[in-house]
Amino acid sequence: MRKFDGFTLIELLVVIAIIALLMGVLMPALHTVKELAQGITCMSNQRTLGLAYVMYANENDTKICGGMARYAPTNGIPPWVMPPLDYNSDGSFIEMPSGDVSLEQRYNGLREGALFPYINDVAAYHCRGDNRLRHGTSYGQKLQHLLFRSYSLTDYLEATRRQDPKRLTDFTGPSKKLLFVEEIYDAEGVNHNVDGWSYMPGTNSLWDPLGVFHNDACTFSFMDGHADTKKWMDERTIIYFMSRSKAASMGFGKGQEFNPPNQDLLWLDEHYPGKTRQAQF
């Protein structure tokens, strides 16, 4: 009689159970490794953006570009980036600040910004950990919600109003002053990160969220052109950045003081380029 060698049903079930157990152990680790790899790429993007900002200023007598996404110069100061746009046959802009837009129309706005000649790669404007491009925002998954640009300047660097700082040399301690942040803008009726990242230094509160794409950490670029990562220490910071509505239900919503004080905000206070959200008279 011919004998067949092989696994019994029980042995197969044991092997499957071991594989499932190993996958349960390995998957979180693999997710962490993936986020770390994305963080390295994001740091490279931040360095690229920060150096482009500094190079623009160096080539323009230390004058900085406009910090908000706009379609035209304001008071003669060109914006660092533009909202999504298309072109008429004569080359003029078709402004598309809301509604559905294609990825190429998003790219057009990046290419027309004052910093693009120093960057020459639209990929530098996007963090791979920013999943809005794939999954949209809390307001939906239509084309208008598939945001691409992951980075914004702070409100303090608007640079177009009379009271705003206009030159890179207006700031002291450039290695500590924030330039670009990862911003996860989530609002109804717009299709891009609007204006700049809003923060209220010295108030022990938060306003706009930051994009937490890298194991509870964010990347930043600074006025001397370098980039770094900040790991958040207070769990409430992560909650706020992930869901402002949840934060509000827990007593530390938009503009509300943290009680007890939030140590992460001390770091933001130290590195925000001004003592107020925007420059004041």
Q: Can you give the pLDDT at residue 25?
A: 60
Cα-based torsion angle of the residue sequence 219, 167, 204, 206 in order, rounded to the nearest 10 degrees: -60
Place of tokens 């509300």: 256
Q: Can you give the pLDDT at residue 3?
A: 56
The Cα 281–Cα 124 span in angstroms is 35
Residue 250 near residue 243, CB atoms below 8 Å: no
Q: Are strands 93-95 and 151-153 parallel, antiparallel or unpaired?
A: unpaired
Q: What is the pTM of this model?
A: 0.86
Among 12-21, 77-86, 155-164, the least confident range: 12-21
The Cα 213–Cα 56 span in angstroms is 28
Count CB-CB contacts under 10 A for residue 222.
23
| Amino acid code (one letter) for 200 | M
Among 3-12, 97-106, 153-162, the least confident range: 3-12
Question: What are the residue boundaries of the structural domains of the chain, listed by start?
Answer: 10-65+126-271
Q: Measured between alpha carbons, how far apart are the two ends of the chain, in Å? A: 99
In tens, the pLDDT along 143-192 reads 999 999 999 999 999 999 999 999 999 999 999 999 999 998 877 888 99
Residue 48 near residue 124, CB atoms below 8 Å: yes
Q: Can you give the pLDDT at residue 266?
A: 97
What does pLDDT average to over the chain?
90
In tens, the pLDDT along 25-72 reads 655 544 454 555 566 789 999 999 999 999 999 999 999 999 999 999
Residues 6+ apart with CB under 8 A from 245: 253
The Cα 87–Cα 91 span in angstroms is 5
Percentage, residues of the chain above pLDDT 90: 79
